Amino acid sequence: MNPNVNYKKFLKDNIDYLSLENGCVVAAFYKFFQIDDILEFQKILKLILKDSGINGTILVAHEGINGTITGKVFDVSKILNQFWLIKDLVDLEPKYSLTNKMPFLRMKIKLRKEIVSLGVKNILPNKMVGHYVKPEDWNQLIEDKNVLLIDTRNKYEVSIGSFENAINPNINNFREFPEWVSNNLIDDKAKTKNKKIAMFCTGGIRCEKSTSYLKSLGFNEVYHLDGGILKYLEKTSEDKSKWNGSCFVFDYRVSVKHDLKVGDYDMCYACRMPISDADKNSEYFIQGQSCHHCYNSASLKQKVRFKERLKQIQLSKKRNERHIGNINKKNLN
């Protein structure tokens, strides 16, 4: 087991084994490193995870891996110990949280061009990246009036929570971030050149790319939240927190709060937007078919398909089976 990752202490300090009798540990991780043969690396991961009882998603690209896995305490521990035996993953540091239900329906290991899609070539966070800021030092940094605080996440993520006074680029996906930088940081460089730029995202991976990208453009005073929002919510008590709202996560928990407790949001099965109980009272909300975000975007054919998908997912859950479908991760357009 990797001695740098205090997994045993996490289990001892955070898990009530009785309450987790029917619950799961969620381990989120990523690492930028060169993978020459991504097919072979995918094969290795598949072999480790075969018949493991673990669900989740892992992306594999030439630039590294990005994943979230979930399962029973013993099963997750066993898999991570096997990951740490791989030379390039010996220093992999997952972030852990708890959930009382399985947030993924199956295990998927996918090949990608990028583990997080910025769409800009030769951005290598393992070679050039911004200054890491520990969660316990983050408040001090963002309280500095000379700091430009930027949320690098998608607008639907920002809609349910962010840090105080953070700039929302209002992007639909991370690939739009370079254009926003061009229009708002480079065009206004006279205003931003003397400022520190601090960025944050869910788990840290997008910030690794965004700080590397800004440094490639000549910005030097670039910082990002080490471990992302998830690590901040884990390490920072609510009474000292600068975070407002919930943090969107890309699984069936939908969102988490301080101490990484499951949040109060559900998800629209049609457009994958987070929705609150109040949103469900909207005249446009139809379970499994539409919400106020997407009611006028989906065709009748799509709504019928969404309804059938929800029916099959509910039947699978009732039978305690895995469903081969998954929530649509793209906008309807």
Structural domain range at position 208: 131-245
Q: What are phi and psi of 277, to 5 degrees?
A: -60, -35
Q: Residue 45's domain is classified under what CATH number?
A: 3.30.70.100
Residue 331: what pLDDT? 31
List the chain residues with pLDDT less than 50: 1-6, 8, 10, 12, 14-19, 322-333
Give pLDDT tens digits for 238-275. 999 999 999 999 877 889 999 888 889 988 877 878 99
Do 139 and 169 share a domain, yes or no? yes
Residues 52 and 92 in one domain: yes
Q: What is the total count of domains within the chain?
A: 2
Residues 103 and 39 in one domain: yes
Does residue 227 form part of some domain? yes
Q: Do 235 and 173 share a structural domain? A: yes
Same domain flag for 142 and 102: no
Q: What is the pLDDT of residue 129?
A: 93
268 is known as an active-site residue: no
User: CA-to-CA distance for 203 and 197, rounded, in angstroms?
Assistant: 18
Catalytic, out of 24, 201, 207, 247: 201
